[in-house]
Each structure stands twice: as C-alpha cells, then as structure tokens.
Amino acid sequence: MMAGDAMDRRDDWLECTLRAEAADQGAQYLADDGFTARVLVHLPPPAALPAWRRPALILLWLVAAGAAVAALPDLAYDLFRSLVAAVVVVPLTLSRIMIALAVLAALAWSAIVYVMREE
C-alpha cells in the first residue's frame, strides 16, 4: 500500500514536471528572425503559361466566332445589315469615326483582359 502511494506520488510528480516544463517551453515564442522570408524565397516559382497558349486561345475564339456565324447565318446576316444601316444612317465624321474606334478598342481591350484573367 505504502509502495503504491509512493509510486502514485512519483507519477504525479513526473506528470507535473513534464506539464510545467512543456508550458515553460511553450511560453517561449520563437521570434521569426527572417525564417518566413527564407521559406518564401525557396517556394517553387509560379507556374508560367506556355508560350503557345495565348495565340491558341485567340485562334480558338476566332474559330468559335466563325462557327457561330456558320451555324446561325440568318442571325449573323441580320446583325450585319443592322450594323451597316446604323452606320449609313448616321453621317460619318472624323470625330464619330474616332469615337467608334475608341469604343471598339475599349471593347477589344476589355475582352482581352477578361480572357487573360480567366486564364
């Protein structure tokens, strides 16, 4: 019985000692000291897009547009006629041509940005 008590006391003492030592060590926060920066430097480089991907995407868009025109020729024809009519009705001036070009450029730029963002 006495030996058992002594054993229990030793168990408790060791448990307390291990907990206290772990708490003591755990309370000691290790300063970063450039550790994070060293890890980030060694990360693999970001995956670069292959060089052929951009022209391939543009080609695919053009093929898709061609396919859409071929599949819906009436709609494409109507659209084209409406566009021509709109251009003919509105008298052409240099400023309007510039505005139209600017709008087209903005639309093209937005489409490119959108496609690249999706990539």
Residues that bind other proteins (CB under 8 A): 6, 9-14, 17-19, 21-22, 24-26, 28-30, 32, 35-36, 38-40, 42-44, 46-47
- SS3 call for 26: helix
Helices (H), the chain: 2-27, 35-41, 53-71, 73-89, 94-118
- Phi and psi (nearest 5°) for 17? -65, -45
Nearer to other proteins, 14 or 87 (CB): 14
Nearer to other proteins, 15 or 78 (CB): 15
Q: How far is the CB of 45 from other proteins (least distance, A)?
A: 10
Q: How far is the CB of 27 from other proteins (least distance, A)?
A: 11
The whole-angstrom separation of Cα 58 and Cα 70 is: 18
Nearer to other proteins, 7 or 75 (CB): 7
